[in-house]
Amino acid sequence: MNLKLTFQAIFFGVILSIGFNCDKLSNTKKLKLAHGLNVDHPVHKGMEFLAKRIAEKSDGQLQIEIYPSQQLGTERQCLELLQIGSLAMTKVSAAVMENFSPNIKVYSLPYIFKNREHAYKVFDGKIGKELLLESEKYWLRGLTYFDAGQRSFYTKTHPVKSPDDLKGLKIRVMESSVAMNLVRSLGAAPTPISWGELYTALQQGVVDGAENNPPSFYTSRHYEICKYYSLNEHTAVPDILVISTVVWNKLTKEEKMWLQEAADEAAVEQRKLWQEAEKIALDEVKKAGVEVIYPEKEAFMTKTKKLLDDYKDNKKLYALIQSIQAVQ
């Protein structure tokens, strides 16, 4: 674990004291949930639905306080706060969870899902549930998946109509080895930058573009700088709602049931919100002068296929790839 971030986590931990507040007079518990997205984002709205359902199910005994927009730190910092129990819950990309759950990198592989419905079946089924719990040994328990759409490239200087158009470009990626290998396989230079710093990095030319889903491209206002959005849809990396096992183990059996039920319901609601937000986002960025490109995906699939084949020597992960591809 990064020593600097560990000190930051301890610093925040002193401020937050504990991931939830317990009011003995009113017999209520308040769980702190922090994340990096703004309040207009459909994933944030999904978490608002989660908070509403938990309050209803528990008759107000269990409540969630949401801290959006990196108020309590970056994704990595929030995860480390969870590990020491100073924060109850957070939302992170599955790509970030690779550092704690190695097999979850399968979600970051290019074109691993046939379509959105196929992805939902994997997330909701045995494979998805097992991967959510793989990080428990690092004090992080996955509760559910939020739809984060399909990631595509957006750039400043020219449109990406084929992999050749990415050659030589510096593309922002998450802190994920799979994401970096994917971008590298297409001829670009992967550059990890935190989400909160990306707007400025694009402005200053630190990177030439990035890759993300339509709602994130829109709500981040990256379309003000990047006027080309190529919907090649290379990955469908979900977001994961994570709870600290330090906090989870302090909840009663009934509280755990309320929380898990509310999380499952929030995932269903969030998927509806996501699909609505995707349409709005694409309409709005087009109005703002962004050229939306629909390239042939076959060339991107061919260029990145090797990334899946590279795991043949890793029997467990390659079996996982095959199991996902076999889901009907």
Q: How many CA atoms lie within 13 A of 151 on its CB side?
A: 27
Query: CB–CB of 314/105 below 8 Å?
Result: no
pTM: 0.86
Distance, C-alpha 21 to centroid of its chain: 27
Three-class HEC string of 141-182: EEEEEECCCCEEEEECCCCCCCHHHHCCCEEEECCCHHHHHH
The whole-number pLDDT of residue 163 equals: 97
Q: What is the pLDDT along the chain (328 residues), one digit of tens a residue?
A: 443 344 444 444 444 456 767 665 567 899 999 999 989 899 999 999 999 999 999 999 999 999 999 999 988 899 999 999 999 999 999 988 988 888 999 999 999 999 999 999 999 999 999 999 999 999 999 999 999 999 999 999 999 999 999 999 999 998 888 999 999 999 999 999 988 899 999 999 999 999 999 999 998 999 999 999 999 999 999 999 999 999 999 999 999 999 999 999 999 999 999 999 999 999 999 999 999 999 999 999 999 999 999 999 999 999 999 999 999 8
**Exposure string (b/e) for 47-69, b if CB count within 10 Å is 16 or more?**
bbbbbebbbebbeebbbbebbbe
Q: Tokens for 151?
A: 């990631």
CA distance 19 to 57: 21
CB atoms within 10 A of CB 86: 25
Write down all domains in the chain, each with its CATH number in brackets.
3-148+238-278 (3.40.190.170), 151-236+284-326 (3.40.190.170)
The whole-number pLDDT of residue 7 equals: 42
CB atoms within 10 A of CB 246: 19
Rounded alpha-carbon distances, angstroms, from residue 45 to 37, 217, 236, 237, 254:
10, 17, 20, 19, 25
The whole-number pLDDT of residue 12 equals: 45
